[in-house]
Amino acid sequence: MTAQLIDGSDGLEGVVAAQTVLSEVDGAAGRLIIRGHSLDELAGRTRYEDIVALLFTGFFEDLPADVPAALGRARVEVFQEVSALDTGLLDRTPIEAMRALTARLADGDDAEVAFRLLAAPAVFTAAVVRAQAGEAPVAPDPAMGHAADILRMLRGRPASKAEADALDTYLVTVADHGLNASTFAARVVASTRAGLGSAVLAGISALKGPLHGGAPGPVIEMLDEIGTPSNARAWIEAALDRGDRLMGFGHRVYKVRDPRADALKAAVRWLDARQGRLEFAEAVEAAALAILRERKPNRSLQTNVEFYTALLLEALAFPPSAFTCVFAMGRVAGWLAHSREQLAGGRLIRPASVYVGPTPKKAA
């Protein structure tokens, strides 16, 4: 097998590092397929529990027949770890605190471990956000749908159907997305047979970065700093002059508009209290796309998933500091499915590198 020489500076762009039956990201056509279903068949029409079943089928011999009930039970089980939420964790960012609580769960490779890991970002984020606001955690209701229970645990009161449907749409839309950085990190760890818990911790850690899952929070900061559509051009040009990246724009794979952007924008429209905010965001988006075209004519920098994610999660009353945690609530299904796929057929992931450092002074 000849090693394909890559200097690594291009972030392995275009390098095929795995075969998968889980999802395909067609960057040229702006199309996302998840296990044979296009995104528009799934977003807004499927609950998160259904996409979990779709992604997990064939990868767990012990997959529960009733996924919603199994996920409800898992929320109750992991809630026991919330008592470990001590003052030390309250000073951390929500994703650091959620990661620390997730690390307390027993590692392993079976469906029971997987369902606890599915539940963990949801249960722990709601508890951390409430604790950091000085409020007691709210115990899960295993009989509720996952999205509805997340909002209830976060707020301490039931959410409307429109809100639960909007969160379900978000969780489904971000559940899996090819070999993105956090999924690749999860597969690498899974390939060593470290366990699903270790793989999910790797995924959470990679997702935390602002170039990946850490972008939606800063989108809100950008919108709030711009304030009015008439300020958009000046603010955006100043940011680009500083060499800043516009959060919510650009993508390693999509060279056209990310299909998830419009799926999430549609969900924001269901939350009708947001029309003014949505129109303002659309004006900022139009200005950003125009200026990116002017400044980077040779690059196709389009709106990615994070721009309308920010509006949706803001509308659902998640604090911007917890937006990446909500991303993890959805993507954990993909990390787990890819980890199981890696275990099923893959070998230890161990690429080569080319040594370009100094040679020893005298021959050994």
Please say if 146 is a catalytic residue.
Answer: no
Tell how strand 23-26 and strand 37-38 pair up. unpaired
Catalytic, out of 163, 251, 285, 341: 251
Q: Which residues contact 322 (CB under 8 A, 6 or more apart)?
A: 94, 95, 125, 128, 129
Catalytic, out of 163, 285, 306, 341: 306
CA 69/CA 115 separation, integer angstroms: 11
Here's the x/- map for ligand SDX, 199-218, by CB under 6 A: it reads as ------------xxx-x---
Torsions phi, psi for 356 (to 5 deg) = -120, 15
Question: Does the protein bind ligand SDX through residue 338 (CB under 6 A)?
Answer: no
CA 103/CA 98 separation, integer angstroms: 9
Interaction with ligand SDX in 89-148: which residues (CB under 6 A)? none
CA 288/CA 297 separation, integer angstroms: 13
Question: Does the protein bind ligand SDX through residue 330 (CB under 6 A)?
Answer: no
Question: Does the protein bind ligand SDX through residue 247 (CB under 6 A)?
Answer: yes
Structure tokens at 23: 């999802």
Contact segment (CB under 6 A) with ligand SDX among 57-65, 66-74, 117-125, 242-250 equals: 242-250
To 10 degrees, what angle do helices 196-207 and 181-191 make? 150
Candidates 251, 265, 274, 338: give the one binding ligand SDX (CB under 6 A).
251
CA 325/CA 203 separation, integer angstroms: 11
Question: Does the protein bind ligand SDX through residue 296 (CB under 6 A)?
Answer: yes
- Residue 24 or residue 107: which is nearer to ligand SDX going by CB? 24
Candidates 44, 195, 250, 330: give the one binding ligand SDX (CB under 6 A).
250
Interaction with ligand SDX in 147-166: which residues (CB under 6 A)? none
Residue 87 beta carbon to ligand SDX: minimum distance, rounded to whole angstroms: 32
Cβ atoms 130, 156 nearer than 8 A:
yes
Tally of helices (H runs) and strands (E runs) in the chain: 16, 3
Please say if 338 is a catalytic residue.
Answer: no
Candidates 34, 128, 301, 326: give the one binding ligand SDX (CB under 6 A).
301
- Residue 215 or residue 313: which is nearer to ligand SDX going by CB? 215
What is the Cα gyration radius of the chain? 21
Q: Active-site positions? A: 251, 306
Binding site for ligand SDX (CB under 6 A): 11, 174, 177, 180, 211-213, 215, 245-253, 296, 299, 301, 304-306
